[in-house]
Amino acid sequence: MTKTLCAWTIICFCTLKLCAQTYQAGNVYVGTKNYIEYDAGNLPIIITAPHGGYLEPLTIPDRTCADCTTIMDANTQELARQIDTALRQEFGCIPHIIINRLHRKKLDANRDMVEAADGSAEAEVAWREWHQFIHAAKKDMVQRYGRGLLIDLHGHGHTVQRLEVGYLLDDPELRLSDSLLSTPSYRNRLSIKNLVLHNNNGFNAAQLMRGSFALGTLLATNGFPAVPSQQDVAPLVGESYFNGGYNTLRHGSRDSTTIDAIQIECNYTGVRNTYANRKRFATELAAALKVYLGKHYFASTNFGCRTATVDKNEGIGISVYPNPVHQSMTIQFEDSMDGVFTVTLYNLQGQIVYQDSMDRQVAMPIRTNLPPLSKGLYLLSLTNKKHTLIKQTKVFIE
Ligand SMILES: [Zn+2]
């Protein structure tokens, strides 16, 4: 094993067992065989992408269960990564991102284990790791903030081009009156039950789903039609609508915890289909989440990146943008450091695919143009002139 491969494998891409369940914001962790990826964060936001994976290992048979869906949600992995970048830019802090890299033919990470893995022991391991990573992220949010929000990100193929925002109520229920929806029999079935019971303004369930400061309303106001929202309170009879699935149910606050969950099913055209549209949506979602969390969850929109404890191992902050990277990237890190720095990119096999040294002025970002590289995940390593490792982080080349 080469030295570079060793660094990649041990420092960044260790298995759950090797990592001993401690996660540092800004680092990337993966489960067995790299099937599940967890980008640990420090914001009270988790983005999960269960249906955006591409891997089709021969060691996992294709799922053939009756009525099982095996079609992936196109570009939702890419969308999750662009939302990651947008949230970092909006908040100056890092969200928790959890991605199922397996194709839905191999694992459906939004079903119970029997349907998700369809009998494959290898897929069952990945399924467990998916939920272990989500639990780790939830635990981190509770420790830092006491509460938080999980967005389960999907893509739908329905005719009406709008976001479908799911809180676990189905479309006939959403057509009920605001006053009825806010009674305990409906309120207590919501994936944001904790938010309904504890929000800054005493808003009821209907206000939180389709009032002025509902997530759907904020997105619709910024150019992304959504249902439910103030503009579109419920699907009409005969219109298709996804109201939330296994992840929203299991990881939201309906049955326990102070972590709320919302499923966002994205339409394709204008949201998922191109890099530019994904970027536009990611930017607006990040802005909407800032308003949403500041309005309902915390004292203001400026709630910072709280730390549970002073963590000396977390090291310096580093940001790479844009990320996903497109031909060139900018790297910014701690203001007081200057001198010659070396940027190295490793691929998933631990091979160096790019390396360059640059002289950095205090507080100035490093900008670098990249050669053509295949699309995918890379490890960026930053070292100083004494070859001491400053920081490693992941970048996605698009
Ligand atoms: Zn989906």
Structure tokens that stand for 183 in this block: 């009674």
- Ligand 1: centre distance to CA 129 (Å): 19
- Ligand 1: centre distance to CA 157 (Å): 10
| Rounded Cα distance, 81 and 47, in Å | 9
State the pLDDT confidence band at 5, using cuts at 50, 70 and 90: very low
State the pLDDT confidence band at 7, using cuts at 50, 70 and 90: very low
- Ligand 1: centre distance to CA 108 (Å): 9
Q: Give the HSE-up count for residue 163: Cα atoms under 13 Å, Cβ half-sphere.
A: 30
- Ligand 1: centre distance to CA 165 (Å): 13
- Ligand 1: centre distance to CA 382 (Å): 36
Structure tokens that stand for 330 in this block: 């900018």
317 versus 327: the higher-pLDDT residue is: 327
pLDDT for 220 equals: 98
State pLDDT tens for residues 218-276: 999 999 999 999 999 999 999 999 999 999 999 999 998 899 999 999 999 999 999 99
- Ligand 1: centre distance to CA 372 (Å): 31
pLDDT for 305 equals: 72
> CATH number of 1-314: 3.40.50.300, 3.40.630.40, 3.30.390.30, 3.40.50.11740?
3.40.630.40
Provide Rg for the chain, Cα atoms. 21
- Ligand 1: centre distance to CA 103 (Å): 11
Which strand ranges, in their side-by-side order, compose the sheet holding 339-346?
352-360, 339-346, 376-384, 389-397, 318-326, 328-333, 366-369
pLDDT for 186 equals: 97
State the pLDDT confidence band at 389, using cuts at 50, 70 and 90: confident
- Ligand 1: centre distance to CA 154 (Å): 4
- Ligand 1: centre distance to CA 359 (Å): 45
Domain 315-397 has CATH 3.30.2130.10: no
- Ligand 1: centre distance to CA 71 (Å): 9
State pLDDT tens for residues 34-71: 999 999 999 999 999 999 999 999 999 999 999 999 99
| Rounded Cα distance, 96 and 42, in Å | 7
- Ligand 1: centre distance to CA 163 (Å): 13
* Average pLDDT of span 334-342: 72
Residue burial 202-224, b: 16+ Cβ < 10 Å; e: rest = ebbbbbbbbbebbbbbbbbbbeb
| Rounded Cα distance, 226 and 215, in Å | 9
- Ligand 1: centre distance to CA 68 (Å): 12
Angle (nearest 5°) at CA 379 between 346 and 90? 150
pLDDT for 317 equals: 64
- Ligand 1: centre distance to CA 51 (Å): 5
pLDDT for 11 equals: 38
State pLDDT tens for residues 281-295: 999 999 999 999 999
- Ligand 1: centre distance to CA 79 (Å): 13
| C-alpha dist (Å) from residue 368 to 105, 190, 341 | 38, 47, 12
State the pLDDT confidence band at 307, using cuts at 50, 70 and 90: low
Q: Which of 13-22, 202-211, 360-369 has the lowest mean pLDDT?
A: 13-22
Q: Could you state, in order of their start, the residue ranges of all structural domains in the chain?
A: 1-314, 315-397
- Ligand 1: centre distance to CA 52 (Å): 8
